Chain A
């Protein structure tokens, strides 16, 4: 398929590996931010193609994995109610809460439904006026416009039985937290291509200059990843620290203005707790007061559910077999939300 096959071409990938070998003179540690990029690295063995000394550190960019335990528990509390149809992207169903996962809840009789799009959840609400329909609105900036659109449409259609459990997270505050950590080893970032498709990369420019760190906005196919790595290593070797766009076919500097406007209409920035990381200031989105009636936490009074014992983690590289297998299984459970594809309008 066009815009897919050519970016998986082995000869093109090998040429880029050679270009990286020509440029790299020393060891560098580079973080790919997105879970989708980590998926490509593991699937195609990209880390094993690179010259010795180029270390890839896997970033926090999987919205499924970073959703806080108490948010999962709140989802369970809502989904357990007999008057609720709980809708979610499929990959959230296997994420463990304090007492099992949503799939187990479904097997015990709760009405938990997998939807492809948040608009499917709106349609279910319209079709079941006697039920409450709650949608688990997780995601990074990429998923914010679709989720915002679902709320906006429900408001326009006057659907009083639709609500969203919001657990949106934002990438730049997480990158800042990594860069501020005293034990940070990351020297350059492959930036999140599809997040930037929506919000652009202006917000990344102050990060690159303040922390003297190259940020290359990168796509998700093997050729994309290798091009991103080449540009990042070239910057490091030349002592430059800029934002470069290696995913020009999908990313403009300003992002998508229509998407950004919709996010600003429905959501506002808030503090957010990340599973395995802890609280990161101004790293999440919540509904604005104008849309607060669609907040599932308030509607079902589950905000008081809290959990203890979150540990502060730090990104670690995968180099050994067992670690790689664990990563495989994590990715296998959460790749559906990351699915963003190019296709032809007909």
Chain B
């Protein structure tokens, strides 16, 4: 068991399914169980795609 911070609410949850999780990391929690560690690099991908869209828009503006 370990403690997690739900944006200010502290709860004890079962960590059996995430044996490698470290303090400070984010985990996916369901009914008192941490089921997976959140992958930070993967989490950024959609925002990298959106930044790419912005750059494409800027190119379009420059071309026109």
Contacts and interface: CB of A to CB of B under 8 A. Distances in A.
A342 B29 CA distance: 6
A339 B30 contact: yes
B17 A258 contact: yes
B63 to A, nearest CB: 17
Contacts of A194: 28, 30, 35
Contacts of B43: 3, 248-249
A119 interface: yes
A84 B51 CA distance: 57
Q: How large is the interface on A (under 10, 10 to 19, 20 to 34, 35 or more residues)?
A: 35 or more
A249 B30 contact: no
Contact of B36 (A3, A18, A119, A197): A197
Q: How large is the interface on B (under 10, 10 to 19, 20 to 34, 35 or more residues)?
A: 35 or more
B64 interface: no
A256 B31 contact: no
A128 B53 CA distance: 60
Contacts of B38: 3, 249-250, 342
A69 to B, nearest CB: 24
Contact of B17 (A117, A251, A256, A342): A256
A143 interface: yes
Pick the most buried of A146, A197, A337: most chain B CB atoms within 10 A of its CB: A146
B47 A6 contact: yes
Interface in A104-162: 116-120, 142-143, 145-146, 149
Interface string A249-261: 1111000101100
Given A227-B46, A258-B16, A342 B27 contact: yes
A89 B31 CA distance: 9
Given A142-B30, A146-B30, A250-B39, A16 B7 contact: no
A310 interface: no
A304 interface: no
Interface in B11-52: 14-19, 21-36, 38-40, 42-43, 45-47, 49-50
A3 B26 contact: yes
Nearest to A197: B36
A343 B26 contact: yes
Interface in A174-217: 194, 197-198
A345 B35 contact: no
A346 interface: yes
Contacts of B7: 1, 4, 343
A224 B49 CA distance: 13
A99 interface: no
Contact of B5 (A18, A339, A344): A344
Given A19-B53, A346-B10, A256 B35 contact: yes
B14 to A, nearest CB: 7
Contact of A15 (B18, B28, B50): B50
Given A194-B28, A343-B26, 17 more contacts: A2-B26, A3-B38, A15-B50, A116-B31, A149-B33, A194-B30, A223-B46, A227-B46, A250-B36, A250-B39, A340-B28, A340-B35, A342-B38, A344-B4, A345-B21, A345-B24, A346-B5
28 contacts: A3-B43, A4-B7, A12-B46, A15-B50, A117-B14, A117-B31, A117-B33, A118-B31, A145-B17, A146-B14, A146-B30, A146-B32, A197-B28, A223-B46, A250-B39, A251-B36, A258-B17, A262-B16, A340-B29, A342-B29, A343-B5, A344-B24, A344-B25, A345-B4, A345-B21, A345-B26, A345-B27, A346-B24
Interface of A: 1-4, 6, 12, 15-16, 18-19, 89, 116-120, 142-143, 145-146, 149, 194, 197-198, 223-224, 227, 246, 248-252, 256, 258-259, 262, 337, 339-346
Across the A-B interface, the 7 shortest Cβ-Cβ residue pairs: A117-B32, A248-B42, A249-B43, A340-B30, A1-B7, A249-B42, A343-B4
